[in-house]
Structure 1
Amino acid sequence: MNTYSDWNLQYIGGEWREGNSTTMYENKNPYNDDIISTIKLANKNDVQEAYTAAQKAQSEWESVNAFQKAEVFEKAIAIMKARRDEICELLIKETGSTYAKASVELDFCISITREAASFPMRMVAEIVPSLIPNKENRVFRRPVGVVGVISPFNFPMYLSMRSVAPALAAGNGVVLKPDKQTAISGGLLIAKIFEEAGLPAGLLHVIVASSSEIEDSFTENPIPRVISFTGSTQTGLHIAQVCARTMKKAALELGGNNPLLVLEDADVERSVQSAIYGKFFHNGQICMAINRIIVHESIYETFVEQFVKAANMLKVGDPRDHSNMIGPLINKQAVERITETITKAKQEGAQVVLEGQINGNVMSPFVLTSNTNDVATAQHEMFGPVATIIPFKTEQEGIAIANDSPYGLSAAVHAGSIEKGVQVAKQIVSGMVHVNDQSVNDEPLIAFGGEKMSGLGRFGGKWSLEEFTTLQWISTQNEPREYPF
């Protein structure tokens, strides 16, 4: 088994070739700035070629036997398992993942591909009774045709695969645009895996491009009928508007400002353990990461003390060292954005109780306390290793603080009683709430998605099947029908 290579080429039209832009992009390791690859970017012509080829290939793919389709995804799973070390090494090198994060991300990819492998068998028809004598109503589940996928840098392989595998398995063609900072693990690697697994050429395409150059050509193209986007709310709002102009569906998983609510009767030690993982896993660069920790005043001081102690013990540094739990942020701009937000929060009255250190793109944990939810680090998704801890007096006040955000992606509640936690969870406006756990959870069979400004639609299980398919009603009049005129 040869190691995958040729990371300087795009995958368009079933071929590995250069993009047609005049711009070259250097893909750098976020930990040490080593150049991993240099790639000639794609332009609008490449986008059109990819969509046209995907549309052509899809019409043949849809008619392929369901068992043959499923076999492709089973092979892809076997490839990911066999290439585990190679894939994890790529994730560490390109995204700054720790080994623990890279391993979890690959497991997610395997799980969602395993679920997708069942989709060809679930593209079924249903017979529905008719009001009209001798009429038979058939409702067919059909692929939408072509799906455009735009994925981010933080969990690049999984957040691409989460849409790519289900969309392909449902019989669609796919054009994938990963974040160019993580073009390999977010796109080119996936193309290699499916190519090796025997996916027909021309069905999957990977466009590595600058958004400023291709502009809206990826989303406004009339060929794709669904655009799946994971990223910022600002960009998601724009994509939704573009999709509306061409009457295509937008499946959007956007930003979060996720709360962990720790009730008066919660187990403090368990709450702290949950909070440490949910806040600092992958340096907090996760849409589901805890951003605000809201703690009852009776246990507040104890919680803060234990949380600071635990955060201070996390090993930070080179992600190639498997013992390190925090590695680099994706780029220098992320470090600057976070430090500016911390400075603003301090000016607004927040207290820094753990002052992190910065070394290049690596930030060790920062912990702030605030008496209100109004400081900058609580108002904005930090997407970094920064936690803000806020006290509350009554249960309703705690719930109000948790809901005091335009976002509603994921949340968590710690309570002494599971059922008490569930009752509180129901009052939090969030697509996902986890009781006696933390906010970073994803499973292949569960509806994943947010409320309010955190997105539209759901990913996972039967909900992904719904996102990437449509329904067609075909009726048959089996005996002549009598009409009134």
Structure 2
Amino acid sequence: MDLLHLHSQYIDGSWREGNSTLKMENTNPYNGELLASYQAANVMDVDAAYQAAKKAQKSWEHVNPVAKRDIFDKVVNVIEKNHEAIVEVITKEIGGTRLKAEFEIGLVKNMLKESATFPLRMDGKILPSVTEGKENRVYRVPIGVVGVISPFNFPFFLSMKSVAPAIATGNGVVLKPHEHTVIAGGTMIAKIFEEAGLPEGVLNVVTTEISEIGDAFVEHPTPKSISFTGSTQVGRHIGSVAGRNLKEVHLELGGNSGLIVLEDADLDLAVSAAVFSRFTHQGQICMSANRLIVHEAIYDAFVERYVETVSGLTSGDPSDDATIIGPLINEKQVQTTAKLIEAGIAEGAEPLVKGKIRGNVVEPVVFGHVTSEMTVAKEEIFAPVVSIMKAKDDQEIMEIVNDSSYGLSGAVHTQDIERGTQLAKQMETGMIHINDGTINDEPNVAFGGMKNSGVGRLNGEWSIDAFTTTKWISIQHNRKQYPYS
């Protein structure tokens, strides 16, 4: 399957170019190779996509649940048959390494397998009534049409995280991937579902710049729910626009996760988890461990092993299977990272490892003796840059870890599980993992953050709740007497 040369828009089962005069280019973030150029979508295309989804949803809702499930099984088969082609897209378009590509594809397949169960889980209830002779039925029904906006870092998975459950629960979907990852986050997904036999119009993809469509994607009257994954700044705006238009909104936003290492931790495990949690996909993951909070009793020993491990990580061409750290998505992200590194040094953070910047490849940077007031501790850093912070006891650890406007993920390393659990309960974050890394996502467990890290939960039954609504139908079996007629 040729996935790198698809047309830019997929609307009502038709592959086409957008109607905008804007010509967009899709390039390899590692070497600048032009992958594709295409005409962007405009407001007319967005409207056409939503109209197609609205029309198709009416019949898709009533397709037998087993038939829906079978399509999802076929989607998984299509992915497995085209595994290497998908790896190529993730490598060339996103700058993902082989490790990252395999990790992302695995997440996608698990999400699809979970979503395949949803059509048979659209259960309702029969409830008692305070009125004699009345029967209350509560039906679970699709919300209608869902608009999905996905990011550039894990676009295949983070698009599918909303697209698959929304379709499985009987909705029509319009997907707008990030402009830097239109294939992995958009057209590739449409092609896979098309190959699996999804009816035309159920899934539509529009690729464009926000400058071309403004708020039209969110403001359009058709979608009843908007699911967005991306930065907190953009999420605030989308939430505001959705609220004004009385739409449900699900926001998975930024993070500044803390990984705690207590004095009784398994050091080798803690170091391994901390390295994986920071440097996977160059640190371009919302759950990445930006801050490592280490008990003072083992601070020096931890830092020594951590620095030694990080210093051995390979950086460069993501198409080389030996590469661990590939490029950031674009030059803008590199410039932002360079300024944050300079700010860290200027504010007194100690650069224990200070890699070079080569093109869009940023080699690892490890700061020691970081305090909560420093910029590198406060900002979400979407790059292979990490801060190590020292704490004297559990109280100070909690003060440090909760001194953040974000609250997405976290981890605690200790041999005392109950102590770790009690600390986890005090952490102002949506997800905490004991003796593990901060990067975790399971298809049947609630995923989401607190504070500035988002609104709502996805996965499993929470995704069913997110993309459906309930309808109350009552039946009065006995003749009812009204008071004035």
Mark yes or no: TM-score above 0.5: yes
State yes or no: 1:63 paired with 2:72: no
2:35 is aligned with what amino acid?
A: I
Aligned to 1:216: 215
Matching of residues 453-472 of structure 1 within 5 Å: 453-472=452-471
C-alpha contact (below 8 Å) 1:257/1:409 kept by paired residues: yes
Aligned to 1:443: 442
1:12 is aligned with what amino acid?
A: I
Question: In structure 2, what is the Cα distance between the partners aligned to 1:275 and 1:35?
Answer: 35
Aligned to 2:148: 149
Give a deviation string over 1:82-111, Cα, whole Å, max 9, x none.
Answer: 111111111111100000110110111111
Give 1:371 deviation, angstroms.
Answer: 4.3
Give 1:479 deviation, angstroms.
Answer: 2.0
C-alpha contact (below 8 Å) 1:367/1:387 kept by paired residues: yes
1:427 is aligned with what amino acid?
A: Q
Structure 2 unaligned residues grouped into runs of 5+: none
Give a deviation string over 1:306-360, Cα, whole Å, max 9, x none.
Answer: 1111001011111111111111110111111011011111111111110111111
2:69 is aligned with what amino acid?
A: A
Matching of residues 211-360 of structure 1 within 5 Å: 211-360=210-359
Give a deviation string over 1:13-62, Cα, whole Å, max 9, x none.
Answer: 22000100001111000010000111110001111111111111101111
2:181 is aligned with what amino acid?
A: T
Question: In structure 1, what is the Cα distance between the partners aligned to 2:90 and 2:390?
Answer: 38
Aligned to 1:20: 19
State yes or no: 1:398 paired with 2:364: no
> Which SS does the other structure have where 2:386 is aligned?
strand
C-alpha contact (below 8 Å) 2:325/2:363 kept by paired residues: yes
1:98 is aligned with what amino acid?
A: T
Give a deviation string over 1:281-319, Cα, whole Å, max 9, x none.
Answer: 111000000000111111111111111110010111111
Give 1:69 deviation, angstroms.
Answer: 1.1
Give a deviation string over 1:147-188, Cα, whole Å, max 9, x none.
Answer: 000000000000000000000010000000000100000000
> Which SS does the other structure have where 2:397 is aligned?
helix
C-alpha contact (below 8 Å) 1:141/1:469 kept by paired residues: yes
Question: In structure 2, what is the Cα distance between the partners aligned to 1:31 and 1:334?
Answer: 13
Paired residue total:
484
Give 1:270 deviation, angstroms.
Answer: 1.4
1:36 is aligned with what amino acid?
A: L
C-alpha contact (below 8 Å) 2:4/2:89 kept by paired residues: no
Matching of residues 123-142 of structure 1 within 5 Å: 123-142=122-141
Structure 1 unaligned residues grouped into runs of 5+: none
> Which SS does the other structure have where 2:111 is aligned?
helix
Question: In structure 2, what is the Cα distance between the partners aligned to 1:107 and 1:229?
Answer: 22
> Which SS does the other structure have where 1:174 is aligned?
strand
Give 1:370 deviation, angstroms.
Answer: 2.6
Aligned to 2:195: 196
Give 1:5 deviation, angstroms.
Answer: 5.3
- More divergent stretch after superposition (336-345 vs 3-12): 3-12
Question: In structure 1, what is the Cα distance between the partners aligned to 2:368 and 2:60?
Answer: 55
Give 1:9 deviation, angstroms.
Answer: 3.0
Give a deviation string over 1:249-304, Cα, whole Å, max 9, x none.
Answer: 11000000000111122122211111000000111000000000111111111111
> Which SS does the other structure have where 1:426 is aligned?
helix
Give 1:6 deviation, angstroms.
Answer: 3.5
TM-score of the superposed pair, with normalisation by structure 1: 0.99
Question: In structure 1, what is the Cα distance between the partners aligned to 2:271 and 2:447?
Answer: 25
Aligned to 2:49: 50
Question: In structure 1, what is the Cα distance between the partners aligned to 2:164 and 2:59?
Answer: 18
Change (3 A) 1:4 1:371: closer
Question: In structure 2, what is the Cα distance between the partners aligned to 1:391 and 1:9?
Answer: 49
C-alpha contact (below 8 Å) 1:253/1:455 kept by paired residues: yes
TM-score of the superposed pair, with normalisation by structure 2: 0.99
C-alpha contact (below 8 Å) 1:368/1:387 kept by paired residues: yes
Aligned to 1:207: 206
C-alpha contact (below 8 Å) 2:3/2:183 kept by paired residues: no
C-alpha contact (below 8 Å) 2:259/2:410 kept by paired residues: yes
C-alpha contact (below 8 Å) 1:10/1:207 kept by paired residues: yes
